[in-house]
Amino acid sequence: MSSENGSAAPTAPPPSANGTNGHHRKYEEVQSVTIRFAGDSGDGMQLAGTQFTNTSALAGNDIATFPDFPAEIRAPAGTLAGVSGFQVHFAAADIHTPGDALDALVVMNAAALKTNLRDLQPGGILVVNSEGFETSDLNKAKYKVNPLEDGSLKGFKVIRVPVTKMTREAVAECKLSPREADRCKNFFALGLVYWMYERSLETTLKWIREKFAKNPQYVEANTRALKAGYNYGDTVEVMPVQYKVAKAKIQPGTYRKITGNEAIVLGLVAATQLAKKPLVYASYPITPASSVLEGLAELRRYGVKTFQAEDEIAAAGVAIGASYGGAVGITGTSGPGVCLKSEAIGLAVMTELPLVIVNVQRGGPSTGLPTKTEQADLLQAMFGRNGECPAAILAPQSPGDCFDLAFEAVRIATRFMCPVFLLSDGYLANGSEPWKIPTVAGLPAISVTHPTGPNSDGWTGPGHETGAEGEGGGAGKFLPYKRDEYLARPWAVPGTPGLEHRIGGIEKQDVTGNINYEPGNHEHMTRTRAQKIENIALTVPDLPVTGDADADLLVAGWGGTYGSITTAVERCRKRGLKVAQVHFRYLNPMPKNTAAVLKRYKKLLVPELNGGQLSWLLRAKYLAPAEGLNKIQGRPFLVSEIEAAIEGHMDEAPAL
């Protein structure tokens, strides 16, 4: 998307001061709108939300989205457990979250109303498919009386539309079965919402033509349904107001809509391309990380090899083997899969081979909440292996930032010869935002070198002390654990003449790599591996602080909480509250100025979607006065929740 692009003219009749039936139309310009499409998992709400997002992005709005999926693959139709939703926040200004309270809610049945109504603000617009409230629908949703009839919705602007009936009428000439006709009703609802917010139909019409090119009757049916919904809004006196959201002022450039998982795919490929290394991604399918495997599988022309393993253990082993062979080995999963990979990750620590572990976090423990978001794997990434087994940990803060930190994970893994965790989460993975496409020239350099012989690159030397097995180094012998200034060892590609050396999970002798059981050597190697991870901090940016320099309260977060925290801090500062903010993208090691930053503030508030894991680390390592704001509901923070917590800390007496 180009920031200069304007909105294409609607294919359906454009709105005017008067609708086509002569009713007077009012226009109200608003800065932002938050809308949610909700219905049964087979109602196409994800598709409707995605199309609305794409159209709003091309219209020049800033956007942020939050898809919400049912966990069960085949949840019974019409039940509370089967509700699927897609939330879109679009605005004329810079935004960081998919919104708090909804301005508009579109529901296709009674279950969707019951599970989503609590998020619609008083006076908000409620578009209801009135045919989704039959007796059977009410029973499945556990309604004793019809909410459309009992007055319980009087606090909202209710628009009752017979969506199913009108969709069937619109597609009557397309020779579809009743079931096929009903599958078009999401486009009828989408067309109505396009009219409400003065959106163009052209982007969606083009998508329909391309998607169903081999089925002309589907092209015709979905096109008719979309236009019928649009015309319904224009001709029926149910919605006397249309809303306008102006284009956002954003930095010029070429943009596209991107989800977190899409950004991870592109970041990994960009990094390995610049490093001139093949990428091997080995994974076992798991929600919400599976689309990373799917996305990389489509990019084989860039030297990407993907492998769907039979289990998580095999996937990690394949990735380590790929790195041993000179490729960049990457494995992806969610929290339950990290548990199974833990021994193999320890092998990567001991052998000191590059490995990137993509963990798209979800609710836990065990199977937990597969389609919901959580940030509960930080301590698992930090400590979830036997022995002293350090690994680097990065956490992107937005969907677009997933590109930058996936790129950074490859840089660190190959430069420091170590495993690197990339802790994304379900909220970032499935959410989307406009992303300015970077230029290749603007990307950081990644340089990977391999020793070419026993006396190359400064990685060899004279004989070493005799190892536990009585093997000396010998003059000119390759020394696989001789280290550089950051304590990284050389990355020797198998088959290179003269670079034969031992590899494996048993403790190595310093420098030579021979098997060694000596107590002093084990402690030395353990501390060396830990210091190597700490040395990463010498190559990463300092922790940036935003907000009031004279604040007493610092709000610290990590991962996908960034948008909610940033918006809450901005709102509080606009009201005159003194507050500052930091956000950790580097979690192990933390930036080298972290201690100095934390010491400047009397209070530290740490919002997390877990029981308090970053709070625990900050208290343990820096003795920081961290107080947690913790939420473990499978849903991201509302801005209002963090704003209220900040206000509460302002009202308290200063901490001693």
pLDDT, tens only, 179-214: 999 999 999 999 999 999 999 999 999 999 999 999
Q: Can you give the pLDDT at residue 25?
A: 66
Are 129 and 190 in contact, with CB atoms under 8 Å apart?
A: no
Q: What angle do CA 236, 241, 245 make, to 5 degrees?
A: 130
**Phi and psi angles of residue 66, each rounded to the nearest 5 degrees, phi first:** -145, 95
Q: Can you give the pLDDT at residue 616?
A: 98
Please give the Cα distance from 349 to 345 (Å, whole number): 6
Are 642 and 654 in contact, with CB atoms under 8 Å apart?
A: no
Task: State yes or no: cis peptide before 365, omega within 30 of 0.
Answer: yes
Please give the Cα distance from 643 to 439 (Å, whole number): 37
Q: Can you give the pLDDT at residue 458?
A: 42
Q: Low-confidence residues of the chain, pLDDT below 70?
A: 1-25, 238, 240, 455-476, 651-656
In angstroms, the Cα distances linking 85 to 109, 481, 484, 494, 573 are 12, 53, 52, 50, 33
Instruction: Calculate helix-pair angle for 163-170, 216-235, nearest 10 degrees.
Output: 130
| Sheet hosting strand 279-283, strand order edge to edge | 304-308, 279-283, 328-333, 355-361, 419-425, 392-394, 586-588
| Residue 9: Cβ-neighbour burial (10 angstroms; 0-12, 13-18, 19+) | exposed
Specify the residue for token string 């603000």: 121
Please give the Cα distance from 204 to 196 (Å, whole number): 16
Q: Can you give the pLDDT at residue 453?
A: 82
Q: Can you give the pLDDT at residue 651?
A: 66
| List of E strands, 326-379 | 328-333, 355-361
Model confidence over 100-136: pLDDT tens digits?
999 999 999 999 999 999 999 999 999 999 999 999 9
Are 451 and 461 in contact, with CB atoms under 8 Å apart?
A: no
Tell me which residue of 262, 191, 203 sits closest to 228, measured CA to CA: 191
Q: Can you give the pLDDT at residue 76?
A: 85
Are 36 and 102 in contact, with CB atoms under 8 Å apart?
A: yes
pTM: 0.91
Return the amino acid letter for 353: L
Q: Can you give the pLDDT at residue 477?
A: 86
Strands 328-333 and 279-283: parallel
Please give the Cα distance from 345 to 339 (Å, whole number): 10
Helix or strand run (H / E) with residue 419: strand 419-425
Strands 255-259 and 432-436: antiparallel
Q: How many CB atoms lie within 10 A of CB 619?
A: 17
Q: Can you give the pLDDT at residue 456?
A: 58
Q: Can you give the pLDDT at residue 73?
A: 73
Which phi-psi region, left, alpha or beta, contains residue 47 (left: φ > 0; alpha: ψ -120 to 50)?
alpha
Q: Can you give the pLDDT at residue 26?
A: 79
